[in-house]
Amino acid sequence: MNGAISSNRLSLSAALVRHAVLLMTGTLILLPFVWMVSLSIKPPGEIFRASFSLWPAQLYAGENYTKALSETSLLRYMGNGVLVCAMILLSQILVCAPCAYALAKLRFPGRGLLFGLVLVGLLLPHQVLALPLFALGHQLGILNTYAALIFPYIVSPFGIFLFRQFFKTIPDDVVHAARLDGLSELAIVWRIMLPMALPAVIAFSIFSVVSHWNDLFWPLIAVRDQSLMPPPLGIMAFKNEEAGNDYGPLMAASTLVVLPLVIAFLAAQKWFVEGMTGGAVK
């Protein structure tokens, strides 16, 4: 046992205290989620009649969720989110993996410089780039399109870095054997390196999808049309329209936006923790 506090088995009372503390903090942590779901299944009358009860006297879930889906373009927002996240992830892997392979396994002049660029890219916060990227998008005439949501993220310095670190752990002999088998360098990247680096690919995919599904800053700048909005922007638009008067459907919509990642997280907790902490946890 990894006893940080006690190197022996906890006494019964200590174990009870531990559970009591964690259940209390856990309840506080979950409170916003619970309250959100609770309001999403209550009728307006019960929402505005202040009460502590989490479960409604009259179940109103059907009405609220139907309204959330029919009176807003929520499904459209979620579809946009899926499309944008998928395109970003696909292009990031297509662009980053070959570069990471070159950095990890090939010798060429400027390799150190390129890796330096990647490390500097890692520390640049994307919000700083928003102004010139907005101007670039304007020049290209792609603002207010799906392309506007995707193009700043075509390459990910973090992706290159993560893949390179993982590729370096794959023995050179594997690469040599693949070359003897007549595989091209590009084929080595796709057919040998990426499959062997599957843990890194999964961790990076989770990081990328969670970041871009949740992102509000860039979509706010890049698109105006409701039909192009990803979920965070769409739900903010819904909130501003409702001006806080129609809590039930608003909470239902919030629940639906949060739900996909929560389900995925609960199903693959370990991968999420690794992906979201950038491999700092091992």
Partner 1 sequence: MSGPLALSEASDKRSMPIEVPLQAIPLARRRALAEALAALALAGPAVFFLLVLFFLPVAAVFVIALTDWRFGANSLSFVGLSNFREVFADAGFRASLVNTVVYALIVVPGTVILGLLIALVIESGRSCRGFYRAVHFLPFMATLTAMAIAWEALLHPTIGLVNQALAAIGLPTANWLRDENMALPILAVIGIWQNLGYAMVLFLAGLKRIPQELYNAADVDGADLWIDRLRTVTLPMLGPVTMFVVIVVALRAFEAFDTVKVLTQGGPSHASEVLLYTLYRESFEYLRTGYGAAVAVVFLAIVVTLTLVQVRFMDTKVHYQ
What are the φ/ψ torsions at residue 96 (nearest 5 degrees)? Answer: -80, -40
57 binds partner 1 (CB under 8 A): no
Residue 136 contacts partner 1 per CB under 8 A: yes
**Quick check: 68 binds partner 1 (CB under 8 A)?**
no
Residues 211-250 that bind partner 1 (CB under 8 A): 213-214, 216-217, 220-221, 231-233, 235-236, 239, 244, 247, 250
Q: Which of 57, 75, 90, 106 binds partner 1 (CB under 8 A)?
A: 106
Min separation Cβ 63 and partner 1, Å = 18
The Cα 174–Cα 56 span in angstroms is: 61
Residues 6+ away with beta carbon under 8 Å from 56: 38, 41, 42, 43, 46
107 binds partner 1 (CB under 8 A): yes
CB of 206 to partner 1, least distance (A): 9
If we measure between CA atoms, which residue out of 189, 162, 180 comes closest to residue 106?
189
Within 13 Å, how many C-alpha atoms sit on residue 102's CB side? 16
Q: Does 83 bind partner 1 (CB under 8 A)?
A: no
Of 73, 83, 123, residue with least CA distance to 213: 83
Q: Is 179 a binder of partner 1 (CB under 8 A)?
A: yes
Nearer Cβ to partner 1, position 52 or 55?
52
**Interface with partner 1 by CB under 8 A: which range of 62-70, 82-90, 123-131, 194-202?**
123-131
- Report the nearest approach of partner 1 to the CB of residue 249 (Å): 12
Q: Work out whether 111 is an interface residue with partner 1 (CB under 8 A).
A: yes
10 sits near partner 1 (criterion: CB under 8 A): yes
The answer to whether residue 123 forms part of the interface with partner 1 (CB under 8 A) is yes
Closest CA to 104 of 157, 162, 48: 162
First-to-last alpha carbon distance for the chain, in angstroms, is 18
CA angle 149, 160, 281 (to 5 degrees): 100
